[in-house]
Amino acid sequence: MPQSYDAILAAPFCHLGACFSGTSLTRLDFLPATTQLTAMPDERIQRLANELAAYWCNPAHRFDLPIQLAGTPFQLRVWQALMEITPGKPITYGALARQLGTAARAVGQACGANPLPILIPCHRVVSAQGLGGFMHAASGAPLDFKNWLLQHERQDHERPPPTSPPSPAGGRGSERHAQTDQRRAD
C-alpha cells in the first residue's frame, strides 16, 4: 500500500514526501523524481519548503521546525547525537558508537530507522571503509542520496551543487513502527 503524504516537495536529487501530525513534521521520505509534486496549501508545508530551500543554499543551515519523533529510547538518543554532527565533518559508526557507549551496528540500525533524514542528518555517519549504508540499504539510490548530501555539505559555496544521482525505482519504505513519542521544537 503506498504511503500517504501531506506534501510532496522537490529536492535537487529527488522528491521528498512529508507527513505531519498537527503542525509537527513526523516523517520525510525520499521519493522518485517522477512523483507528482503537491501545491503548498498551508503554512506548515510552506515552512518546511523554506527550511529545505535554506539548507540547499547553505548546508550549515540549522532547521527550525517543530518535529515529532517516534522511536525507542535508544533510537531517540542516537538521533539526538546525529543532530550534533557538524555539516561537512562526517563521523564513523564506530566513533559515534564509542561516544554513546554502544555498538556500531546498533548505531547503524538507529540511523536506518531515522524518520527525518536531512533534518536528523544520519547521512553524516559513514563506515570506516567508505560510505556505509543508508536507509537500511547497502547500494542503489539510497547511497546515491547519501553521497549527494555529503558532497553538498563538503562543497565550497562558490561551486555549483553536485550532480543529481539517478532517481530511485521506488521510494523509501514505511515499515517503521512507533514505540515512544518525543516532541521537539527547536
- Known catalytic residues? 122
* Angle at CA of residue 61, ends 56 and 62, nearest 5°: 130
- The amino acid occupying position 10 is A
Task: Decide if 74 contacts 182 (C-beta within 8 A).
Answer: no
Task: Decide if 150 contacts 90 (C-beta within 8 A).
Answer: yes
CA pair distance 182, 167, nearest whole angstrom:
32
Strands 24-31 and 15-21: antiparallel
